[in-house]
């Protein structure tokens, strides 16, 4: 099976019902995508498929129809994505475990809604859990990222 992940083509020989999460982590060694709950309730495993945020723990690899972007492919240290820059600026991460999923969800939101309201941010991010409770910082970072993206 052919997958494009973070701009690179990969040939994987796995069962079609294997969750994308495990293909990414175990077969391709991409560790930024995290296992949280396994039932798509926490958002730690969020990646983009063809630009849309999905929960990779519940997405069978056979259902992947488009390029996959993980946190590793979203931005690089020399050119971070606006959401990543805002996360650093607002010191969002505490334990950091949920952050890759949070960032991927926020980037997907901003690709759809350029300047989201607090309610739109809260709704879009509601499926991504943060046990450290950094929700006010997450909202502030999303707003900062939206403004940075408008300036660019």
pLDDT in tens, 29-52: 999 999 999 999 999 999 999 999
Residue 76 is predicted with a pLDDT of: 74
Q: What was the pLDDT predicted at 128?
A: 95
Cβ distance 68 to 45 under 8 Å?
Answer: no
Residue 68, pLDDT > 90, answer yes
> What would be the CATH architecture of the domain defined by 2-73?
Roll (3.10)
Express the helix, strand and coil content of the chain in percent, nearest 5 each.
45, 15, 45
Of 5, 112, 22, nearest to 58 (Cα)?
22
CATH number, domain 75-151: 1.10.150.120
pLDDT at residue 78 in the model: 79
Is 68 buried (19+), middle (13-18) or exposed (0-12) by CB count in 10 A? buried
* Residue 11: per-residue pLDDT: 97
Same fold, 2-73 and 75-151: no
Q: What secondary structure does DSSP assign to 56-89, as a single string?
A: GGG-BGGG--S-EE-HHHH-BTTB--HHHHHHHH
Question: Where are the domains positioned within the chain?
Answer: 2-73, 75-151
Measured distance CA(108)–CA(46) in Å, rounded: 10
With a cut of 90, say whether residue 75 has pLDDT above it: no
Task: Tell me the mean pLDDT in the region 121-149.
Answer: 96
Mean pLDDT over all residues of the chain?
A: 96
Residues in contact with 37: Cβ distance below 8 Å, sequence separation at least 6, in sequence order: 44, 57
Distance, in Å, from the CA atom of 10 to the CA atom of 103, rounded to the nearest integer, reads: 24
């Amino acid at each position: 099976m052919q997958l494009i992940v973070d701009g690179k083509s990969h040939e994987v020989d796995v069962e079609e019902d294997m969750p994308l999460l495990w293909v990414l982590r175990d077969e391709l060694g991409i560790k930024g995508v995290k296992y949280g709950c396994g039932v798509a309730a926490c958002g730690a495993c969020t990646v983009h498929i063809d630009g849309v945020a999905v929960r990779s723990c519940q997405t069978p690899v056979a259902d992947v129809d488009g390029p996959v972007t993980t946190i590793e492919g979203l931005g690089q240290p020399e050119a971070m994505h606006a959401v990543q820059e805002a996360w650093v600026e607002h010191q969002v991460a505490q334990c950091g475990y949920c952050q890759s999923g949070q960032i991927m969800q926020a980037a997907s939101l901003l690709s759809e809604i350029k300047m989201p309201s607090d309610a739109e941010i809260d709704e879009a991010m509601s499926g991504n859990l943060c046990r450290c409770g950094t929700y006010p910082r997450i909202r502030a970072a999303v707003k900062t990222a939206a403004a940075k993206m408008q300036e660019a």
